[in-house]
Amino acid sequence: RNLWLNLVCSPLSADQLILQAPHPVFEGDTISLKCRGKEEKKTSDKIYYKNGKKLKNSYNTDSVTLKSVSRDNSEYHCTASIEFLSIFSRTITSKPLKIQVQELFLPPVLTATPSQPTEGGPVTLTCETQLPPQKSNVQLQFCFFRDGQILGSGCSSSLELQIPTMWRKDSGSYWCMAEAMAYRISKNSSRSQIHVQRIPVSEVILETKPPGGQLIEGENLVLICSVAKGTGTITFSWHKEGTRNLGRKTQHSLLAELQIPTVKMHDAGRYYCAADNNYGPIISKWIRVTVRSPVSHPVLTLKAPRAQAVVGDMVELHCKALRGSPPILYRFYHEDVIMGNSSAPSGGGVSFNFSLTVDHSGNYSCDANNGLGSQHSHRVSLKVIGKQGIPTAVNSHHPRLSSTNRAPISCGWDDIPADSPLFLPPPESSEIIPYDYIFSKLYHSFVSPVSTNNSHMPHSLSNINTMTFQSTYYNSTITDKGA
């Protein structure tokens, strides 16, 4: 009897029941726990527990499935009924089991290259982690964030994110996330502060289009302001000496343009520009813009000492363009034949003076040219007559005569038009023209009307001592002895 009691009451060893788990186990894995008896055929009614609580649907089953295990340090065990002596059974408990769940991958590390990017430059963000060899086929996705906002187009399989241009406003807290979608496991990197560096502007230059700042009135002027260095938002401004600001532009660029359409003469002067990206304005050197104006039609005026121009008078032609950039070259014309030219280095008009002869009757004009085109004046007419009271002797055929030559001689008033000369009447007798005949006829011409019938008197010239007959109209001189 005592032997029987000892057999019934003696405890069964915990080794009679073992809870088994696979190895290695990684977070996110799905595993099976198996409860095994030392004598499996005598083991029944298996129940599984986690942290002392019965797992659902784990009664009287050889194994239980755990989905997506985590590294939570949970403790598992199982219980079962063990038959002994063929007629008795007793419930025994396995030893507790802590499953060693390994990390599927380490938390990623975020790096930025360069670590201190400059404005306007690129940066590369890298999210680095590593899978164990047993899980090398696991697909990871990477996401990048700044101040809680996802960057780029979202998560992707690339562990790098290229940001082509960084600005000052892009400074902030950055981190990344690596995610194993199939395992529903994601891990974040630690946060990194990225400060975008700004480079102050330098070497500000002002240029013009057309180059050199030489313009013709009516053309368009473009002022180009540029900087050699400088990052971020740059504010450009343009200035003209003695005036207010011409304009201002703010943009992410090392160059900006300002157009001044249809320039006028008052747009000429000195200009400069300035650039500022919050470190203070930097000013360019001064440049000079010149605006040239084509000449206008010049005005020709004629100044004479009397209302009716007379041979020998000094007259002045004055040509002046009211508009036009100097220097201006003026040319004077008589019947479209150039008489002379003169330059006005500082602008204004010029004069041309000359003594009149009968040949100076006709039309006068001038033109002005400053290299931007020539303009012609209106025409001014001038009629020149001889001096009143001085007779004019005209030899219509022979420019030089001797005492034996015979030639027609006519004498008339200088203030009578050239096409109506007055002639001396022929003497009544003798072919010799004496002094008293010449002078008496001349005197008679002064005090009484003389015939204008264009009569000629052919006579021999003799005994006339150096007497000169001058024709103002025909510009010929006749003397005796061939003088």
pLDDT in tens, 349-406: 999 999 999 999 999 999 999 999 999 999 999 999 987 544 444 443 444 444 444 4
> What are 229-254's pLDDT values in tens digits?
998 889 999 999 988 789 999 998 99
Segment 445-473 mean pLDDT: 37
> CB atoms < 10 A from the CB of 9, how many?
8
pLDDT band at residue 469 using 50, 70 and 90 as cut-offs: very low
**In this predicted structure, what is the pLDDT of residue 29?**
93
Beta bridge partners, 452, equal none
Say how many Å lie between the first and final Cα of the chain, rounded: 195
> What are 408-418's pLDDT values in tens digits?
444 444 444 44
d(CA 273, CA 281): 10
d(CA 445, CA 439): 9
Segment 168-191 mean pLDDT: 94
**In this predicted structure, what is the pLDDT of residue 126?**
98
The mean pLDDT value of the chain amounts to 81
The conformation of residue 107, written as its DSSP 8-state character, comes to P
More confident residue, 106 or 1: 106
Q: For residue 12, is pLDDT > 80?
A: no
More confident residue, 388 or 10: 388
More confident residue, 4 or 302: 302
Segment 312-339 mean pLDDT: 95
Q: For residue 329, is pLDDT > 60?
A: yes
Which range is most confident: 122-131, 304-313, 401-410?
122-131
Beta bridge partners, 48, equal 78
State the DSSP H helix or E strand holding residue 149, giving kind and residue range, or none if neither. strand 149-150
Give how far Cα 30 sits from Cα of 60, 67, 68, 90, 316, Å: 21, 4, 5, 32, 118
Domains and CATH numbers, the chain: 2-102 (2.60.40.10), 109-194 (2.60.40.10), 202-290 (2.60.40.10), 299-382 (2.60.40.10), 391-482 (no CATH)
Give how far Cα 280 sits from Cα of 234, 262, 283, Å: 11, 33, 10
Q: For residue 322, is pLDDT > 50?
A: yes
**In this predicted structure, what is the pLDDT of residue 303?**
94
